[in-house]
Structure 1
């Protein structure tokens, strides 16, 4: 499966540490070699880096790894192609404008025979099921809320309804952000960690790199990191139960709607070794 990485913070923060481990999954510690991308929100703008080459060997990824871009919301993706060729236009994350704001989307999964009718305002440039799903989401949001962006609770309810609908076609793990909120939908596997005072020392699972966040933060900082599988091997990550859409704002998950539990009560903590259960 593809790999997702998201970050939501209450103060602009760089993602260099998490990205160092995440990048290794694109051809070094895992077999996802079909391109990668990352998007940083900066005010009303978005800075996007895309490359159809493996992230572990990408000079663009090397630049991002050492480039401390500070952002409140970040979405990154490493691709394992299922639909669409290995080309730049098929590389996540995808970007569109809605209600005068940029929206960024990345998907993990395979939506089989997903060919919905689209209204025309949002059309895919590439040939992936992921970009079609993104356009479908925005089409329906624009039609449902023609006067502009709705309240967060109404937006969450609409997104969750659409996510469950699209998810009937296959795995539909995704990250979506407008630069203010970050939405994370778990269809099969997605987890997160909250970092806030007192901060801990973290060690990457995919690279021998350790950081003491006490040296890089203030007591008021909050950072939520979302990933397909845990990026560190010495922290307790929380698994998002499949079928749930989580909303993150100011570095915290915010309850905007009813939580749906699957198999066990929410939330479920991952083991201390950071490995997700095989049953997911």
Structure 2
């Protein structure tokens, strides 16, 4: 599938070493890379539909300090959608109150018909982009009913409900950022890890070094991070995802349609 990474801290920190370790996994995830940082309350996003280790653009970026309080990265192993730039993560959309939301996803939506209507609205053709469009619609609906922007806690409560529903029968390792909160969720065992120290809070699909302080992210809960600390934690749902022969066959059928030349080996 994919791998995801985020760094969350109270002060801007350089994260080049972590990113370099993360992008080294691109041999197993060759269908694209992405990087998002926050600079002066604005998203800076770079992404390409090529293997990270083959990208001169990414090498140029990492040759200079990558510094931020909120940094997100993604490497893609496509299970849905073509190998093109609009299908690379991160995805970003604004709600009706002009709040920008960013999303990266490791997983596949096998069963959630409510996302189908976004196939005609999305820029690419991934289930991950459809998740973000769905979230934006739900935010807009609630803010319209309230006739005011949602508070941080109201946004977290809404995302808790959405993620819980989406996670049924689907793999949903996901990171979302709304300008205030970083949301983290995993529903598959041993597929997302975190490390917290004085530098900040780091989350990745696999530990990025030999530090013994890496721990697995608790399953089936949504966490909300600000300034390197968990400030919200949901109650657990029951939708643990267990990879089965059905899921494997579905992914294999898609991968047969991928052009080997698109991996930029």
Q: Are 2:157 and 1:153 aligned?
A: no
How many residues of Structure 1 are paired with residues of Structure 2 in the alignment?
Answer: 234
SS in 1 for 2:168: helix
| 1:210-225 correspondence runs (5 A) | 222-225=199-202
Contact 2:219 2:236 (8 Å CA) reproduced: no
Q: Distance in 2 between matches of 1:43 and 1:101?
A: 14
- In structure 2, the residue matched to 1:53 is 50
Question: Do the aligned partners of residues 190 and 148 (structure 1) sit closer, same or farther apart at CA in structure 2, a change above 3 Å counting?
Answer: farther
Q: Distance in 2 between matches of 1:238 and 1:152?
A: 27
TM-score by length of 1: 0.77
Output the aligned Cα RMSD.
2.2
| Residue number among 79, 82, 85 corresponding to 1:85 in the alignment | 82
Q: Distance in 2 between matches of 1:87 and 1:148?
A: 37
How far the C-alpha of 1:64 sits from its partner, in A, is 2.3
Runs of 5+ unmatched residues, structure 1: 197-221, 264-280
Q: Are 2:36 and 1:39 aligned?
A: yes
SS in 2 for 1:145: helix
- Per-residue CA distance 1:10-65 (angstroms, 9 max, x = gap): 011222111010010111xxx11000101111122111100100011211221222
How far the C-alpha of 1:118 sits from its partner, in A, is 7.6
Contact 1:114 1:129 (8 Å CA) reproduced: no
| Residue number among 215, 220, 232 corresponding to 2:209 in the alignment | 232
Q: Distance in 1 between matches of 2:38 and 2:75?
A: 19
- Per-residue CA distance 1:71-102 (angstroms, 9 max, x = gap): 22111110000001100010001011123222
- In structure 1, the residue matched to 2:179 is 179
TM-score by length of 2: 0.81
User: When you count helix as a share of all residues, which structure comes out higher?
Assistant: 2
Question: Do the aligned partners of residues 51 and 125 (structure 1) sit closer, same or farther apart at CA in structure 2, a change above 3 Å counting?
Answer: same
- In structure 2, the residue matched to 1:64 is 61
Q: Distance in 2 between matches of 1:179 and 1:68?
A: 22
Q: Distance in 2 between matches of 1:116 and 1:261?
A: 20
